Amino acid sequence: MRIISGNLKGRPILPPKNLPVRPTTDKAKESLFNILMNQIDLEGIRVLDLFAGTGNISFEFASRDALSVHSVDANFKCTQFISKISNELDLPIKVYKSDVFSFIKSCESKYDIIFADPPYDLKLLETLPEVICNQGILESNGILILEHPATYNFSNHPWFYDHRNYSKVNFSFFHQS
């Protein structure tokens, strides 16, 4: 795993092997950030990374000068790793060890981009766009990106606007209209 671009471009991030994660591939991550850079200025934005895992996406946003990045994961080893690396690299990442649905329900902040990469077998995965959109934590011009397996189709969601596929990685994009 490496940081694709920004201040830390090319920097390898080596998570412990025992983390229960499925990191977004570098190819899919690079494609995702190319899409985002054509839609929004990433400098100075507020980002929420749900099911943060290794912090792969959080580190990428922070390297590209996000104002703040909030990383949420329920696994202690994941949050410990993200905290360790963000402290070592002096990145503006605040880490929360929490169940994502509980965090969303109690969250009072608003974000320009929310990225969610839940476990593909999460029973409530199909409800995530609705839960996030209805909570009011996405800025009015904000973007929600959901990484999911090909078995899900969110094109009928009222805030859906795009879908991209990179091998086994699927991204669905949502925004408030």
What is the structure's pLDDT at 177? Answer: 63
What percentage of the chain has pLDDT greater than the value 70? 99
What percentage of the chain has pLDDT greater than the value 90? 89
pLDDT band for 176, please (50, 70, 90 cuts): confident
pTM of the full predicted structure? 0.96
Asked if residue 11 is part of any domain, the answer here is no
162 sits in which H/E element = strand 160-166
In the block, residue with structure tokens 């839609």 = 39
Range of the domain at 73: 26-174
43 φ, ψ (degrees, to nearest 5): -70, 130
Asked if residue 7 is part of any domain, the answer here is no
Q: Which residues contact 60 (CB under 8 A, 6 or more apart)?
A: 3, 4, 5, 6, 29, 33
Asked if residue 37 is part of any domain, the answer here is yes
Asked if residue 3 is part of any domain, the answer here is no
Asked if residue 117 is part of any domain, the answer here is yes
- Number of folded domains that form the chain: 1
How buried is 134 (Cβ within 10 angstroms: 0-12 exposed, 13-18 middle, 19+ buried)?
exposed
Alpha-helix runs per DSSP H in the chain = 26-37, 56-63, 76-88, 100-106, 128-135
CATH number, position 65 = 3.40.50.150
pLDDT tens-digit profile of 72-117? 999 999 999 999 999 999 999 999 999 999 999 999 999 999 999 9
Asked if residue 12 is part of any domain, the answer here is no
Q: Region 18-45: what's the mean pLDDT?
A: 91
127 pLDDT above the threshold of 80 = yes
